[in-house]
Structure formats: C-alpha cells, structure tokens
Amino acid sequence: MKTQISHLPFDEILFPPFTGFPKKGIAFLQKLKRNNNRVWFEKHKADYETYVKLPMQSLIASLQPHFDKFAPEFDANPKRSLFRIYRDIRFSKDKTPYKTHVAAHFVIRGKPKGIEGSGYYLHIEPGEVFLGGGIYMPDNDQLKKIRHAIATNANDFLSIVENRSFKKRFGKLEGNRLQRVPQGFEPDHPMAEWLKLKQFFVGVTLPEQKCFSESFLETVADVFEEAVPLVRFLNHAMGYTK
C-alpha cells in the first residue's frame, strides 16, 4: 500500500509508506562528509535518491494524515517540504557544495519554507535527529508583532510555555536574547525576560537510532503536536492565522 497525499491531485506521484530511515542513508551522509565534491556526488547520486531523498519524502507524505488531525492548516508535501541537498555557497566561506544532513520544513499552506511564519522542522544527520517547532529567524516586523502579542496576551503565552507536558517534552523556549528589554517596553515589564528573546522555538534532539524504526513517524508526529500551541500563538501574533 502506498501513501497518497490527500490534498494533491490524483496524478501526483505516490510515495511508499514510511518504514524507517535506512541505515544506508546515514552511511551515505557520512561518506558525503568525507567526499563533499561534485564528482563524488554525481557518481553516487543514485544512492542519495534511493537511501536519503525517497525515505524522507515517504516520511513527509506519511506525516500529512497526522497534520490533518492536529494542524490542518499546514502543508506536508514531499516536494515542497524537503530541503534541497545543494548548499547556497554564494555568501559562505565554506564552499563545499552539499549539505551533510537531510531536512524538511513544514509551513502554512501557500507559504515558502524558511521565510514566513512559524512552522515545524525535521533534521536527520549522522549521530542525531532534531525535531522542533517555532520561528528561528523572525524579521524586525515579525519580532515586534510577537513581542506585542506576548505583552498583551501574557496569560495565553504563559499557559503554553509553562504547561507541564510542554516543559517535560521541550524544557524551555529556546532562542538568542537581548541584554536589555527592547524599546517600547518598560525595563520592569512583568514579561521582560520573554520580551528579550530574538528567536522563539523548541525542539528535541534524539540519537540517530530513533529514525531507523517505523515508529519514528509517530515520534515525529507526537513532538510536532506538542508544539502546536506555540506555533499557533506565534502565527496568530504575526497575522498568518486568525
């Protein structure tokens, strides 16, 4: 049985159900770290397609029914959600052409990944897996809106980040912070420490062995579902959802 992406036309490609990320996929990424050049990659591109790209696309496709239940406004599309393996080296001192991990970003339908709003992130590399949610690089306008929402809806925000289950799963809200309370807020504002944040995300890091099992799909879905209240609060604050 294959996993069909429910919101796509019937003629879109169908992906096999996720049965675990293959160990050969991790082995490929390990070899890519040692041979990060175009000649080697082109020679082994079929291994990338078979053991890295396809399993990740199957995982993404298998996540859509879960998103339909806990965050139906989000897109889990094997083509749009998957990050390309190719690095953007235009402004980087590191000129190696390929990423040595595989990742996906899940955003509100119609939004470009990595750009707008708060979303969910999945990252697999040799040695570890990272699952998270939130916004990593808000621009100035987004920051102002988020801080305004925190200041004016403090109880709603605290009910999320201080929730027992949320804290057990994620610990605390992560992100770089300012030294002082930002302009526009009193230094002794009751939400001062939260207003200093410049990023707003949570996540869990797991050993790579977790992704080899078919049950990894449920692990990812459980983590993402736990992050839903935070992701929604942020998106509502930025005006992306009502």
Tokens found for residue 48: 């990338």
162 part of a folded domain: yes
Q: Is the pLDDT of residue 10 over 50?
A: no
Q: What is the mean pLDDT of residues 79-86?
A: 94
Residue that is written with structure tokens 């298998």 in the block? 62
Q: Mention every residue, 6+ apart, whose C-beta is less than 8 A from residue 235.
A: 108, 117, 118, 241
Q: How far is CA 55 from CA 104, 118, 147, 154, in A?
A: 12, 25, 39, 41
Give the closest residue to 29 by CA, choosing from 132, 99, 76, 90: 99
128 part of a folded domain: yes
Strand order across the 128-135 sheet: 102-106, 119-125, 128-135, 200-207
196 part of a folded domain: yes
Beta bridge partners of 162: none
In angstroms, the CA 132 to CA 134 distance is 7
Q: Is the pLDDT of residue 9 over 70?
A: no
3 part of a folded domain: no
pLDDT tens digits for range 108-117: 988 877 666 8
Give the closest residue to 131 by CA, choosing from 23, 205, 242, 43: 205
Give DSSP secondary structure letters for 62-75.
HHHHHHHHH-TTB-
In angstroms, the CA 151 to CA 229 distance is 17
Q: Is the pLDDT of residue 242 over 80?
A: no
Residue 42 CA, chain-centre distance (Å), reads: 28
Give how many domains the chain has, as a whole number.
1
pLDDT tens digits for range 33-78: 999 999 999 999 999 999 999 999 999 999 999 999 999 999 899 9
1 part of a folded domain: no
- For residue 127, the enclosing domain spans 23-238
The pTM is what?
0.91
175 part of a folded domain: yes
CATH of the domain at 85: 3.30.930.20
pLDDT, residue 110, reads 82
Say how many CA atoms lie within 13 Å of 2 toward its Cβ. 12
pLDDT tens digits for range 191-213: 999 999 999 999 999 999 999 99
In angstroms, the CA 99 to CA 21 distance is 17
pLDDT, residue 116, reads 65
88 part of a folded domain: yes
Give the closest residue to 21 by CA, choosing from 207, 206, 205, 217: 217
Give the closest residue to 55 by CA, choosing from 11, 22, 8, 23: 22
